[in-house]
Structure formats: structure tokens, C-alpha cells
């Protein structure tokens, strides 16, 4: 459905076709940026594990890919408002963040 001309002021547009705009409109710039900062933190952890070749590379690569796909898609759509997409996205990020690489022998000797 779409609005036919002439566009009147009595129509309420309540859905933004951008997850970022939706967050900022509903919660403000500061509070709306917090989820993005949390995702950025998880992304940086996954990238650090990929660079160090520490831990499960497949899980970390999946997290980096998922963040890239969701970040670009959220510019023009609101896919993270679909519960199934959000749950799988959070599960992939949680696997990457929760997985700790095995301790090196040098770090065990310091303890």
C-alpha cells in the first residue's frame, strides 16, 4: 500500500525504513546508539580473534559476516525487528563473544 497524491497531514507515518532511524526516533540519540555500540564491541572482539587466529575462526568469521550483513541491511530496512532474525543474530554474536581462545603455555606459567 502507498499513499496517493495529494499527501495530507492526517496520515501518520510510524515506521522508518531504517533500524538506525527507528532507534534514534523512539529512544533518542544517546540511548538509541547503545545497542549499536554493543554490537560494535562484539564485532571488535570477533575481529581481534580473527587477527590473532585465536579460538574458533569459523564462529568469529560468521559473527563478522553477520554484523556486516545486518549493518548494511539495517540502513534501508528494519529486519532486526523480526524476532527470528534478531534471535539468530544475537546467537551468532553470543557464540563469538562467549568463546574464549585456549590459554597459551606462557600465560599458564605466569599464574
| 18-22, 56-60, 68-72, 100-104, range with the lowest pLDDT | 100-104
Per-residue pLDDT of 68-85, as tens digits, reads 999 999 999 888 888 999
Nearest-CA neighbor of 46 among 66, 29, 28?
A: 66
d(CA 79, CA 19): 8
| 10-19, 20-29, 46-55, 68-77, range with the lowest pLDDT | 10-19
* More confident of the two residues 22 and 64: 64
Predicted confidence at residue 105, as pLDDT, reads: 63
Length of the chain measured in residues: 111
Domain boundaries, the chain: 19-100
Give me the helices (H) in 28-82, please: 29-52, 57-73
Amino acid at each position: 500500500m502507498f499513499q496517493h497524491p495529494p499527501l495530507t497531514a492526517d496520515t501518520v507515518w510510524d515506521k522508518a525504513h531504517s533500524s538506525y532511524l527507528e532507534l534514534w526516533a523512539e529512544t533518542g540519540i544517546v540511548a538509541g546508539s547503545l545497542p549499536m555500540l554493543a554490537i560494535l564491541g562484539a564485532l571488535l572482539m570477533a575481529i581481534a580473534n580473527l587477527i590473532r587466529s585465536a579460538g574458533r575462526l569459523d564462529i568469529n568469521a560468521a559473527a563478522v559476516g553477520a554484523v556486516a550483513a545486518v549493518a548494511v541491511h539495517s540502513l534501508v530496512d528494519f529486519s532486526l525487528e523480526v524476532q527470528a532474525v534478531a534471535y539468530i543474530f544475537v546467537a551468532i554474536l553470543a557464540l563469538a563473544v562467549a568463546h574464549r581462545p585456549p590459554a597459551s603455555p606462557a600465560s599458564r606459567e605466569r599464574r
